[in-house]
C-alpha cells in the first residue's frame, strides 16, 4: 500500500515536470527564459531579443565593419549599419561591408573609406583591393585586353617584354595599404568571431536542453523501477500463496491405513 501511494505521488510529480518541460513559459521582447525555465530575465548588455518566445538565450548585437552605425543596439532591436560610400553588404551579413572587384578603396581622411570603380587603364581583381595599372606589352601587342577587374594578357612574354609601372604597383599610398589591410583583417576577424559565437551558442543551447529534460526523464525512470519492484513483489507473494495452498492440499488427502493384520470373519 505504501509503495502504491509513493508511486502515485511520484507519477503526479513527473506529470507536472513533463508538462512544464513540454509547455514551458513564454517571455516578451528583450527577455529570455531562465536556465531553470521558471521565470523571465532581461537580456544582458549588447544582446537583444526582438520577439516573444521561449528562448533561453538572447542574440548578440552586431558591430559595424566598413560601415557607420545609424542606430544603436537595444534590448529589442539589433544594431543598424550603413555601408560607406561605394561599399556593399557581404552576402549573409548585415554588419560587414566590402569593396567589390573592379573597384578600389580610397581613404577619405576622416576615419572612413570610399570605394570607387577603377578608372580606365587600371584594375582590381580582389575584394577590398586598390586599383593597379594594366601591364604594358611589347610591340607584339595585346592578346586579351584588360578590364577594371582583370589585367592585360600580352601576345608574347619574352624576357623583359612585360613591364609595370613600379612606382604605382610596388609602393602604393601608405594610407591605402593600411586601410586595405585593416579592411581584410576586419572581415576575417568578424567571420571567425561569428563562427565561434555560433559554435558556443549551439553547444550552450544543447547543454541547456539536456538539463531541461533531465528531471522529467529521471522521474520516468524512477517510475519504471518502482513499477518493476511492485510487479516483482506481487509475483513473489502470489508464488508463496500458491505454494502454501499446495502443501495444505497434500496434508488433507487420503488417510494413511493403520498397520497390522486385517480381521477376516470366519466362514460359515
- The answer as to whether 135 is a domain residue is yes
Task: Give the model confidence (pLDDT) of 117-127 as tens digits.
Answer: 999 999 999 99
Q: Give, as one character, the DSSP assignment of residue 120.
A: T
Looking only at the bridges linking them, the beta strands covering 113-117 and 122-123 are unpaired
- The answer as to whether 50 is a domain residue is no
- The answer as to whether 122 is a domain residue is yes
Q: How many domains does the chain have?
A: 1
Domain residue limits at 148: 83-200
Q: What is the pLDDT of residue 138?
A: 79
**Under 8 Å between Cβ of 34 and 66:** no
Task: Give the model confidence (pLDDT) of 150-166 as tens digits.
Answer: 999 988 755 544 444 44
- The answer as to whether 111 is a domain residue is yes
- The answer as to whether 164 is a domain residue is yes
Range with top average pLDDT, 16-20, 125-129, 181-185, 239-243: 125-129
Q: What is the mean pLDDT of residues 165-185?
A: 46
Half-sphere CA count of 23, side-chain side, radius 13 A: 8
- The answer as to whether 258 is a domain residue is no
**Under 8 Å between Cβ of 137 and 161:** yes
What sign does the CA torsion over 205, 185, 46, 61 have?
negative
Rounded CA-CA distance 22/212 in Å is 10
Please give the model's pTM, rounded to 2 decimal places: 0.47
**Under 8 Å between Cβ of 147 and 102:** yes
Rounded CA-CA distance 12/222 in Å is 12
The rounded Cα 30 to chain-centroid distance in angstroms is 20
Backbone Cα Rg of the chain = 42
- The answer as to whether 213 is a domain residue is no
- The answer as to whether 28 is a domain residue is no
* CATH code of residue 101: 2.10.50.10
Amino acid at each position: 500500500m505504501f509503495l502504491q501511494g509513493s508511486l502515485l505521488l511520484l507519477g503526479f510529480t513527473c506529470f507536472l515536470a513533463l508538462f512544464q518541460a513540454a509547455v514551458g513559459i513564454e517571455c516578451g521582447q528583450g527577455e529570455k527564459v531562465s536556465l531553470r525555465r521558471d521565470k523571465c530575465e532581461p537580456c544582458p548588455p549588447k544582446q537583444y531579443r526582438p520577439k516573444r518566445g521561449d528562448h533561453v538565450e538572447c542574440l548578440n548585437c552586431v558591430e559595424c565593419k566598413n560601415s557607420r552605425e545609424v542606430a544603436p543596439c537595444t534590448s529589442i532591436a539589433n544594431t543598424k549599419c550603413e555601408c560607406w560610400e561605394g561599399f556593399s553588404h557581404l552576402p549573409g551579413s548585415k554588419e560587414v561591408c566590402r569593396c567589390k572587384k573592379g573597384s578600389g578603396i580610397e581613404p577619405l581622411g576622416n576615419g572612413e573609406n570610399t570605394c570607387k570603380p577603377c578608372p580606365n587603364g587600371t584594375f582590381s581583381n580582389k575584394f577590398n583591393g586598390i586599383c593597379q595599372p594594366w601591364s604594358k606589352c611589347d610591340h607584339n601587342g595585346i592578346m586579351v585586353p584588360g578590364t577594371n577587374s582583370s589585367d592585360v594578357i600580352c601576345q608574347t612574354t619574352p624576357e623583359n617584354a612585360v613591364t609595370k609601372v613600379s612606382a604605382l604597383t610596388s609602393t602604393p599610398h601608405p594610407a591605402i595599404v593600411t586601410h586595405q589591410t585593416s579592411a581584410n583583417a576586419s572581415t576575417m576577424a568578424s567571420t571567425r568571431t561569428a563562427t565561434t559565437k555560433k559554435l558556443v551558442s549551439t553547444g550552450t543551447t544543447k547543454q541547456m536542453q539536456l538539463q531541461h529534460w533531465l528531471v522529467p526523464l529521471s522521474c520516468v525512470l524512477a517510475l519504471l523501477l518502482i513499477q518493476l519492484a511492485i510487479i516483482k513483489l506481487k509475483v513473489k507473494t502470489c508464488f508463496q500463496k500458491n505454494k502454501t495452498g499446495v502443501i495444505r492440499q497434500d496434508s488433507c488427502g487420503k488417510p494413511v491405513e493403520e498397520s497390522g493384520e486385517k480381521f477376516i470373519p470366519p466362514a460359515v
